[in-house]
Chain A
Amino acid sequence: MREEYAARLHAPNMRHIFICGGTGCHATGSIAVKDRLVEEVAARGLGETVRIVETGCNGFCALGPLLLVHPDNIFYQKLSADDIPELVEEQLVHGRQVERLLYRDPQTKKPIPHFGDIPFFARQQPWTLRNKGIINPESIEDYIGRDGYLGTAKALLELTPESIVQEMLTSGLRGRGGAGFPTGMKWQFAQRSPGDVKYVLCNADEGDPGAFMDRSILEADPHAVLEGMIIAARAINAHQGYIYCRSEYPLAVRRVQIAIDQARALGLLGRDILGSGFDFDVEIYQGAGAFVCGEETALMRSIEGKRGMPRPRPPFPAHKGLWEKPTILNNVETLANVAQIMINGGAWYASVGTEKSKGTKVFALSGDVNNIGLVEVPMGTPLRSIVYDIGGGIPKKRKLKAVQLGGPSGGCIPEAHLDVVVDYEEIAKVGAIMGSGGAIVMDDRTCMVDMARFFLDFIQDESCGKCTPCREGTRRQLELLEKICAGNGEEGDIALLEELSAMITESALCGLGQTASNPVLSALRYFRDEFDAHITHKKCPAKRCAALLDFTVNAEKCKKCGKCYQTCPVQAIAWQKKEVAVINRDICVRCMSCFEACPFDAID
């Protein structure tokens, strides 16, 4: 069966058009592009030799809608439905490339037609994302053609539960949700827990702002996650699994449900999988919008239909988890690696990476960077390489200020430490965490005090309120930071922030509270001068805190372009051609629109 499906992919004279159908591309109009493509291909009678496949997220979200023409691997970007007739005529009928739709090197402006030559893709090592953009996520046949369910077959028919765990331990795979706990060890605990009823859970509650790799994996390769769950279930002898998915991810939920139905139909889920005598089934459980539900004990409470509040550990879920039964919870990205480890062996996986961090890690690269999208690199890759070689550097020739890693539990890594390599321990040394892999690049217009305030606002909004340090402590920290951003900061505020941080970190109940102060501490560690500027000089060096700005036009910098005049919503700006703009501060509502609009930083 596998050979047959694989053969279909490599059939001679067959061309495949892989059009991205991830959430990002859907939003930029890929559905209309695809419909037009189907129409045009049919109209020209190419239906026999051209197969159009809507894939999951391709990873280069900034360029959507995009498509790949296989087997030539020509990459087209930023398409609209009106481009399609020309593309079909030239590329499919005459075999000529449509130059205006090709990717161009940002520096040299030369087109790069081949997918493999584009630096963004060329420098990655796609293991977890091996199927992204080249299979139809809604087709189990496509997946099987790419060695799908081979890992399951091996685990169920050739390996014992003990040897599955042994392979996982050998692989050195650590939790990709961010904490980095060795996956094999977690499975071993659950395997040794006595009990007939056990559960395998998949954590797809990707709440970290700035992380979208789990969503993309679920949308592009849902079967890989199911496989990981089946193998985990076999290892610990569980018969029921749940995928806890955010309700903010409707497309992911839909595709995973399709994958579950297809796997059931082929006997890969349910009773007696592949004739091995092993039973296992999976259900999707949709979350209801609470960041704390990504914490394992809170997530289990939520599946039980209660308020998602964490509880103290021990007892760890491997002994007492969902419904008080032994449970393992793994992140989407962790599970997506499991089948490959079964096929190729743990030693293969461990051959890549650093001493303590093995394999590859997927980062969601976003913010002030040229190439926004998903990036998978071997552990040990320097962060600088991710930002510059793959990410293509900072737009508009601005300077990089910091890269924020690990979301609200993480920290910022300043330009001076950008040579740090991707490794759980190394990143922790510079005051951030690996986290789930959201990497947000910030240029010199970002105010670090404001970013610290942003993360605390997030944390105190999402704190479940069960423990006092987190509920009250983060609220006080937020008030202090708001005061500083509003220009009312006083001597002693920083000391108070640090004192609160230490207390909350030591006394909070769960990971959310224990790491809540990280963004503040990391901002203080590297950008204390910005805090001092806000408090002592009442200035915001990055010009982001509206309360600390003058709203006057700097006549030397003003190029008289009128963009501020056009954007001002309250007509507070007077401007005429060839004149410097003037802001009437009595009318001005300090909305910052003119700052955003001005290309010359001429507004102080």
Chain B
Amino acid sequence: MSCCNHTHGVAVGCCGTAETASEITPDQWAEVHAVIARHKDTPGALITVLREAQDVVGYFPPELLDCIAEGMNIPASDVFGVVSFYSLFSLSPKGRHTIKVCTGTACYVKGIREVINRIASEYGIREGETTEDRRFDLEGVRCLGACGLAPVMVVGDDTHGAVSADKVLELLKKYT
């Protein structure tokens, strides 16, 4: 496995194969290295680094996990353990638009299940899956804390309240 060489906290890139054979662009690598450099001496910063790295790349391909493990000086198995534990982190590529359906109690009582079923049957995805054309991910979130708007769905950064199975497909049309 290639290594990340840091000198004085400045990333000089990795040597060779993993970085060049990866989907991650050189610019993204540079940002990831900057994130690691910023936090590598802070105890307990792994989750922060993972969150910021995911914001850059979108998900965790193996080479990214290895790079973070090495940069933070934490065994790769531990890094993987943390990534697989928290629902915020994804090991597979995401779609262009993430549909977060709230599956909290109030939304459930108000009929989010019908909404999920309608999305699932229209786009052929279940919770936690991505459409083949990478247009949508469907994620169930355990309460967005906006119970006044139940049932709630968030697409990208847009929150939609009081969604119904009838309206939902119309709402999703504008996200291409």
Contact = CB atoms under 8 A, between A and B. Distances in A.
A265 B43 CA distance: 26
Interface stretch (A337-345, A383-391, A494-502, A589-597): A589-597
Contacts of B125: none
A212 B146 contact: yes
B165 A569 contact: yes
Contact of B51 (A286, A451, A454, A462): A286
Which of B51, B122, B166 has the most chain A CB atoms inside 10 A of its CB? B166
Interface in B82-119: 82, 85-89, 103-106, 108-111, 113-114, 117-118
Interface string B32-55: 000000000001111110110000
B16 interface: no
Given A210-B143, A247-B51, A303 B87 contact: no
A178 interface: no
Contacts of B146: 23-24, 27, 61, 212
Nearest to B89: A288
A212 B145 contact: yes
Given A210-B104, A212-B146, A592-B117, A288 B164 contact: no
A382 to B, nearest CB: 22
A303 B44 CA distance: 6
Contact of A24 (B81, B111, B149): B149
Contacts of A597: 166
B56 interface: no
Contacts of B108: 209, 454
Interface residues of B, number: 47
Nearest to A365: B147
Contacts of B88: 247, 287-289
Given A24-B148, A27-B149, A27-B161, A209 B118 contact: no
Interface in A167-207: 206-207
Interface in A525-568: 566-567
Nearest to B49: A305
Contacts of B109: 367-368, 440, 442, 446, 451
Given A212-B147, A247-B88, A440-B109, A288 B47 contact: yes
Contacts of B89: 288
Contacts of A24: 146, 148-149, 161
A372 B50 contact: no
Contact of B148 (A64, A307, A593): A64
Contact of A206 (B44, B145, B164): B145
A366 interface: yes
Contacts of B85: 290, 307-308, 464
B134 interface: no
Interface string B54-89: 000000000000000000000000100110011111
Interface string B129-168: 0000000000001111111111010000001110011100
B7 interface: no
A178 to B, nearest CB: 15
Interface in A566-604: 566-567, 569, 589, 591-593, 596-597
B166 A567 contact: yes
Contacts of B148: 24, 61-62, 64, 212, 366, 372-373
Residue of B50, B147, B150, B161 with most chain A CB atoms under a 10 A cut-off: B147
A308 B82 CA distance: 8
Interface string A58-94: 0001101000000000000000000000000000000
A192 to B, nearest CB: 26
B44 A305 contact: yes
A28 interface: yes
B176 interface: no
B161 A209 contact: no
A596 B44 contact: no
Nearest to A219: B145
A378 B118 CA distance: 43
Contacts of A366: 105-106, 147-148, 150
14 contacts: A23-B146, A23-B159, A26-B159, A27-B149, A61-B148, A207-B143, A212-B143, A304-B44, A307-B85, A308-B85, A407-B105, A440-B106, A462-B142, A592-B117
4 closest A-B pairs by beta carbon, nearest first, are: A61-B148, A209-B104, A27-B159, A288-B86
